[in-house]
Amino acid sequence: MNFLIRWSINTIALGIAVLIVKGVYVEGVIPLLIASLIIGFLNAVLKPIMIILTLPLNILTMGTFTFIINTIMIIIASKIVSGFDITGFWSAFVASLFMSFVSSLLSIFVYAGRNE
């Protein structure tokens, strides 16, 4: 159940990023669902490895390099998923910022009343 809630939150966050950020395109609901699933998978598997490998840089930038790692995850997802396109690095960067913000906001509202 928790997986479906997280996937829904990330899908909504990605959908809002697609609507707001110029240069991020999706060709329907199915590519949106698949892209958010792939981004979630990459965040679960690849992101911890990248954070460990870039730990000195992440420490020097006080954690802000994590946004670059999030951007890379979105770019990788756009290369994997047909129908989900990013025009450039900065579009992916702004989309990752929007996704982080919207996902955090939605998570606060969804998990506020739960005892887990």
Kindly tell me the burial class for residue 64, based on how many C-beta atoms sit within 10 Å of its own C-beta (0-12, 13-18, 19 or more).
exposed
Asked if residue 57 belongs to a domain, the reply is yes
Per the structure, how many domains does the chain have?
Answer: 1
Asked if residue 88 belongs to a domain, the reply is yes
Asked if residue 16 belongs to a domain, the reply is yes
Query: How far apart are the C-alpha atoms of 107 and 13, rounded to whole Å?
Result: 11
Q: At 25, is the secondary structure helix, strand, or coil?
A: strand
Asked if residue 64 belongs to a domain, the reply is yes
Asked if residue 114 belongs to a domain, the reply is no
Q: Within 10 Å of residue 81's Cβ, how many Cβ atoms? A: 21
The pLDDT of residue 113 is 67
Q: Are 31 and 84 in contact (CB under 8 A)?
A: yes
Asked if residue 108 belongs to a domain, the reply is no
DSSP 44-110: HHHHHHHHHHTHHHHHHTTTTHHHHHHHHHHHHHHHHSTTEEE-SHHHHHHHHHHHHHHHHHHHHHH
pTM: 0.87
Asked if residue 113 belongs to a domain, the reply is no
* Residues of the domain holding 25: 2-103
Asked if residue 44 belongs to a domain, the reply is yes
DSSP state of 37: H
Q: Read off the pLDDT band of 97 (50, 70, 90).
A: very high
51-94 per-position pLDDT tens digit:
999 999 999 999 889 999 999 999 999 999 999 999 999 999 99
